Amino acid sequence: MSFDYVVLGAGSAGCVIAHRLSEDPDCRVLLVEAGDAATHPFVSIPGAAAALEGTNIDWAFRTVPQRNLNDRRIDYPRGRCLGGSSAINYSLYVRGNRGDYDHWRQLGNTGWGYDGVLPYFKRAEANNDIMDGYHGADGPLSVESFAYRNSLHEIYLEAAQSVGLPLNPDFNGATQEGCGYYQSTLKGGRRCHAADAYLSPIRDRMNLTVLTGTLITKLLVERGKVRGVEYIDHGRSVECVTAEIEVVCCAGSIGSPHLLMLSGIGPADHLREHGIDVIADLPGVGRNLLDHFGRAPVSFTIEDPDKFGFAAGSLDTHAGQFDRDGTGPLTSMHVDAGAFCRLRAEDAYPSAQLFFMPGYTERHKSVDGRFTVHLGGYVCRPQSMGAVTLTSSNPLDRPLIDPKYLSFADDLERTVELLQKNVEIAEAKPFDGVRGRMARDLGSRKKIVDHIRAYGATIWHPTSTCRMGVDEHAVVGPDLMVRGVEGLRVCDASVMPTMVSGNTNAPTIMIAEKGADLIRSRSAMSTAQI
């Protein structure tokens, strides 16, 4: 088989690239995905996201033991289906802030400053609630507010304001700082993942071919140019396909560096260690792994939970209610409200993202069997860098994932400050009369640190393993072309030069929207109406 473009991975980025490139009817596009369609019955149900972990649409990776987390191995979910991780995530639509992208530009990534990327956020978006200069109205990706509101949310916002966080109606607007409600990638109250938004409406395009159940095993390189790929079709046979113009790797921050290294593109010493011929010595491939670290919440029980509509019952019971009429506890992702704050006065932009998580189902009973609420969050721009490396040269062997959480000392200090901020909010006056007992004594720094090391884990935002830049350690340039190799781009969260201040799904879709124009050599300003 031969195509103009071969796109590897049908996650958030790959769906966008396939959609945009196939807009040209004369352009033949192949989209290749290791998983199948996201047919699990819980995919469309917002509040059932946690139940998707470990299913057949999850790669279900695990990290190596984390030295700074009591040698625990951390579960590392990544979507394996059409839609990728956007089909199993918590659907928050968060872009980051102006400072994130202006920093990318300052590092030499021309065109990637905030003013350069905002048109692509807008082009992707169909926002059903906010209509202003920061949002799009007719893009493929539906964005709306969670339908469910609980009076506990309003109490949380009062508490956050009482400790100095202003009310902010739009974290993706003029300013990010403050407390408020999150936006989400939902459509009519149901999940709108990348395949729903970008693939489903165009599956009848004659110039677009989608292969599922197809594991890419190797890039085929001849005289320094990627000519195509080798893949295993449904675990049965090894096949090859040719790319006449480019291969676009959209396999994510774990899959993209893994595939590059299997193909001889990466740190030469590491490749030779596994008997792989070196095609391009790029030391940065797989390095610079950044991830948001959190999930060590401040928790307390609720007095009189019936007053706040806490619904007992099984997940299946509530899923049935949602399927029948779109109502019930599972209309919420349980992270509806939160905040962005500066942990230190010298921080120019918010340095922590906070979540308020009231529990709505029996799985949230965690203190003496009573209903519990959680105040969580993470440091926005962690400095601890890990790596994705090869286990062997066998493409069926999973890579080694080592985020090296808290290896940078200030990441721990800032995480302590974040928990102290959540304790301050939890103990604020608006929660008096609502708050029961605290789940854990976090009254000293040592107790907070012990709590972090015992319970901290990934927030599922790996980035930067094929970092964009102009220095010798960058893997791709600002045009997303892989250095030293022709006919190959990487276009996914792995190219982020540094971490963004927030969830990574919306930025990944933006990267792909801009990447599609880079491939087509078009500008966002001339295509804003597409």
* pLDDT surpassing 60 at residue 98: yes
For 340-370, give one letter per residue: b (16+ CB within 10 A) or e.
Answer: bbbbeeebebbbbbbbbbbbbbbebbebeeb
Summarised one tens digit per residue, pLDDT across range 4-56 is: 999 999 999 999 999 999 999 999 999 999 999 999 999 999 989 999 999 99
Band (521; pLDDT cuts 50, 70, 90): confident
Would you place residue 451 in the very low, low, confident or very high pLDDT band (cuts 50, 70, 90)? very high
Q: What is the pLDDT of residue 317?
A: 86
Over 60: is that where the pLDDT of 513 sits? yes
- Specify the higher pLDDT residue, 74 or 301: 74
How far is the first Cα of the chain from the last one, in angstroms, to the nearest whole number? 30
pLDDT of 332 = 85
What average pLDDT does the structure give for the chain? Answer: 94
| pLDDT at res. 333 | 84
Mean pLDDT for 162-181 is: 98
What per-residue confidence (pLDDT) applies to 343? 98
19 has catalytic annotation: no
CATH homologous superfamily of 1-146+189-290+388-405+463-530? FAD/NAD(P)-binding domain (3.50.50.60)
Q: How far apart are CA 293 and CA 455, in angstroms?
A: 11
What is the number of other CB atoms lying within 10 angstroms of the CB of residue 92?
22
Query: Which of the four CATH numbers 3.30.410.40, 3.40.50.720, 3.20.190.10, 3.40.50.1110 does domain 147-181+293-379+406-455 have?
Result: 3.30.410.40
DSSP 286: T
CB 45 within 8 A of CB 427: no
Which residues make Cβ contacts (< 8 Å) with residue 348, sequence separation at least 6?
99
- Distance, in Å, from the CA atom of 301 to the CA atom of 278, rounded to the nearest integer, reads 57
Q: What residues are paired with 340 via a beta bridge?
A: 178, 353
Q: Which residue(s) pair with 353 in the sheet?
A: 340, 378
pLDDT for 525 equals: 41
Please determine, for residue 433, whether its predicted confidence score (pLDDT) is greater than 50: yes
Residue 304 has pLDDT above 60, yes or no: yes
CB 97 within 8 Å of CB 501? yes
What is the total residue count of the chain? 530
Confidence of residue 327 (pLDDT cuts 50, 70, 90): confident
The predicted structure's pLDDT at residue 254:
98
pLDDT, tens digit (0-9, with 9 covering 90-100), for 330-351: 888 889 999 999 999 999 999 9
According to CATH, where is 3.30.410.40 located in the chain? 147-181+293-379+406-455
| Least confident window among 221-225, 234-238, 308-312, 461-465 | 308-312
Residue 523, pLDDT score: 43
Mean local confidence (pLDDT), 116-121: 98
* All CATH 3.50.50.60 domain ranges in the chain, comma separated: 1-146+189-290+388-405+463-530
Q: What's the rounded mean pLDDT across residues 505-520?
A: 98
* Cβ count within 10 A of residue 394: 11
Label residue 111 by pLDDT band (50, 70, 90). very high
In sequence order, the β-bridge partners of residue 476 are 468, 482
Cβ atoms of 427 and 441 within 8 Å: the answer is no
Percent of the chain with pLDDT over 90: 87
Is residue 446 scored above 80 in pLDDT? yes
With tokens 């729903």, the residue in question is 196
Confidence of residue 156 (pLDDT cuts 50, 70, 90): very high
The pLDDT assigned to 71 comes to 98
What are 121-149's pLDDT values in tens digits? 999 999 999 999 999 999 999 999 987 78
Q: pLDDT band for 232, please (50, 70, 90 cuts).
A: very high
Query: Once rounded to an integer, what is the mean pLDDT over residues 190-196?
Result: 97
* Mean pLDDT, residues 263-283 taken together: 98
Asked if pLDDT for residue 66 goes beyond 90, the answer is yes
Q: 465 Cβ partners below 8 Å, 6+ apart?
A: 253, 254, 256, 257, 285, 286, 287, 288, 289, 387, 388, 494
pTM of the model: 0.96
CA distance 343 to 498: 19
Mean pLDDT to the nearest integer, 158-162? 98
Q: How far apart are CA 40 and CA 35, in angstroms?
A: 12
Is 309 a residue whose pLDDT tops 80?
no
Condensed to tens digits (0 to 9), the pLDDT of residues 458-502 reads 999 999 999 999 999 999 999 999 999 999 999 999 999 999 999
pLDDT of residue 359: 66
Q: Which residue has the higher pLDDT, 150 or 380?
A: 380
